[in-house]
């Protein structure tokens, strides 16, 4: 992981993990929604992380049309092959309970996530060896954009929501869903509501009485309904939908 400040300092770790989020307050607000009120006993405790924008961007580009075990594998490969080893790391964190619905934990303790410069310098063949498939080109192209100074994620972070979203969507491999993930998990824009297949199914089933809808319509609906807590609502719906789908 790349930290915003002094590596591993408790304050920045807490920020990264979303540990300072007022979860009780957030969840009691969400519980005004009947669907979420019923869901919360099963999903309580979700915190939205504040990820490094670059790591977040790459991770979610890799996530498209992919499955979670393989996403983990790819991120781990990237870190091991192109990142820097972190000396003197304890194993703290690896045995921790998984924070589902959140991209944390994809990068194993032991290596930093590679910088844009490190990935820009990687050969296409070496990137392919990270099991990225056709996404390898997206990762390399984005790395070059940042390394060359043509793309400034910190600048985008400061733009108004819609402008930042539009700028992200310009990037190779980034569509609306991935852009919303970066807005939510890296830029801390709580009004972002990433619509993936799970969330779409959940909203259609639990709010639209089974009527098919478009991701665009769902985003508009979510913004109206949940406002600045849309991202949190999305996480609870995502986790709830996935838990329900598993045989148990």
Cβ atoms 198, 241 nearer than 8 A: yes
Tell whether residue 71 is a contact of DNA (CB under 7 A): yes
CB of 141 to DNA, least distance (A): 10
Q: What number of chain residues touch DNA (CB under 7 A)?
A: 36
SS (H, E, C) 133-198: CCHHHHHHHHHHHHHCCCCCHHHHHCCCHHHHHHHHHCCCCCCHHHHHHHHHHCCCCCCCCCCCHH
Q: Does 47 bind DNA (CB under 7 A)?
A: no
Residue from 60, 193, 226, 232 in contact with DNA (CB under 7 A): 60
For DNA, the binding residues in 130-149 under the rule CB under 7 A are: 131-135
Report the C-alpha gap between 202 and 185 in whole angstroms: 21
- Catalytic option among 50, 106, 177, 219: 177
Q: Find the binder of DNA among 184, 238, 240, 241 (CB under 7 A).
A: 238
Nearest to 143 by CA among 119, 124, 162: 119
Number of residues assigned to the chain: 248
Distance separating alpha carbons of residues 133 and 102, to the nearest angstrom: 23
The residue within the footprint of DNA, chosen from 18, 83, 173, 240 (CB under 7 A), is 173
Answer yes or no whether residue 70 interacts with DNA by CB under 7 A: yes
Binding of residue 248 to DNA (CB under 7 A):
no
Asked whether position 171 contacts DNA by CB under 7 A, the answer is: yes
Query: How far is residue 17's CA from residue 19's CA, in Å, rounded to a whole number?
Result: 5
From the list 7, 14, 166, 197, which residue makes contact with DNA (rule: CB under 7 A)? 197
Is residue 223 annotated as part of the catalytic site, yes or no? no
Give the one residue of 196, 202, 218, 226 binding DNA; rule: CB under 7 A. Answer: 196
Which residues are identified as catalytic? 177
Give residues in contact with DNA (CB under 7 A).
60, 63-71, 73, 100-103, 128, 131-135, 169, 171-179, 181, 196-198, 238
């Amino acid at each position: 992981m790349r930290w915003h400040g002094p590596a591993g300092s408790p304050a920045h770790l807490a920020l990264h993990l979303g540990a300072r989020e007022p979860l009780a307050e957030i969840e009691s607000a969400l519980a005004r929604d009947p669907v979420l009120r019923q869901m919360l006993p099963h999903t309580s405790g979700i915190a939205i992380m504040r990820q490094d924008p670059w790591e977040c961007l790459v991770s979610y580009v890799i996530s498209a049309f992919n499955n979670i075990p393989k996403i983990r594998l790819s991120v781990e490969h990237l870190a091991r092959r192109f990142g820097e080893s972190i000396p003197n790391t304890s194993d703290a964190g690896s045995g921790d309970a998984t924070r589902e619905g959140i991209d944390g934990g994809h990068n194993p303790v032991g290596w930093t996530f590679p910088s844009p410069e490190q990935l820009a310098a990687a050969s296409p063949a070496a990137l392919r060896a990270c099991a990225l498939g056709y996404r390898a080109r997206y990762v390399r192209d984005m790395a070059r954009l940042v390394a060359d100074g043509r793309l400034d994620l910190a600048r985008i972070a400061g733009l108004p929501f819609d402008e930042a979203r539009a700028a992200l969507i310009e990037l190779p491999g980034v569509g609306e869903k991935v852009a919303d993930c970066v807005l939510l998990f890296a830029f801390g824009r709580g009004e972002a509501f990433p619509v993936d297949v799970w969330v779409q199914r959940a909203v259609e089933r639990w709010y639209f009485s089974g009527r098919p809808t478009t991701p665009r319509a769902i985003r508009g609906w979510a913004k109206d309904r949940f406002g600045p807590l849309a991202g949190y609502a999305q996480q609870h719906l995502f986790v709830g939908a996935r838990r329900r789908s598993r045989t148990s």
